[in-house]
Structure 1
Amino acid sequence: MAGLASDSPTPVALTVHGRSRVLEVAFSDGAAFRIPFELLRVYSPSAEVQGHGPGQEVLQTGKRDVGIESLAPVGNYAVQPRFSDGHDSGIFSWELLYRLGRDEAQLWAEYERRLAAAGADRDQPMPANAGHACGH
Structure 2
Amino acid sequence: MKPTTIQISKSRRVLIVPWDDGHRSEYPWDGLRLACPCAECKGGHENMGTPPDPAVFDLTPTQRYDLIGADLVGNYALQPLWADEHRYGLYSWEYLRGLCPCDECRRGRE
Q: Place the TM-score, normalised by the shorter chain, in its bin.
A: 0.7 to 0.9
Q: In the alignment, which residue of structure 1 is the partner of 2:39?
A: 47
Give the CA RMSD over aligned residues.
2.2
Q: In structure 2, what is the equivalent of residue 31 of structure 1?
A: 23
Runs of 4+, deviation exceeding 3 Å: 102-106
What is the SS of the residue equivalent to 1:12? coil
Aligned length: 92
Please list every run of 5 or more consecutive structure 1 residues that lacks an aligned counterpart in the other structure: 1-8, 55-60, 107-136
- Whole-angstrom CA distance in 1 between matches of 2:4 and 2:69: 18
Identity of aligned residues (%): 32
Partner-residue secondary structure (3-state), 1:30 = coil
Q: Does 1:18 align with 2:5?
A: no
Unaligned runs of 5+ in 2: 48-60
Q: Distance in 2 between matches of 1:102 and 1:83?
A: 20
Q: Would the aligned equivalents of 2:18 and 2:24 in 1 still touch at CA under 8 Å?
A: yes
1:92 aligns with 2:91: yes
8 Å contact from structure 2 (residues 25, 102) kept in 1? no
Q: Find the aligned partners of 2:62 and 2:85 in 1 and give their Cα distance.
A: 13
Q: Scaled by the length of structure 1, what TM-score is found?
A: 0.61
Q: Which residue of 2 aligns with 1:62?
A: 62
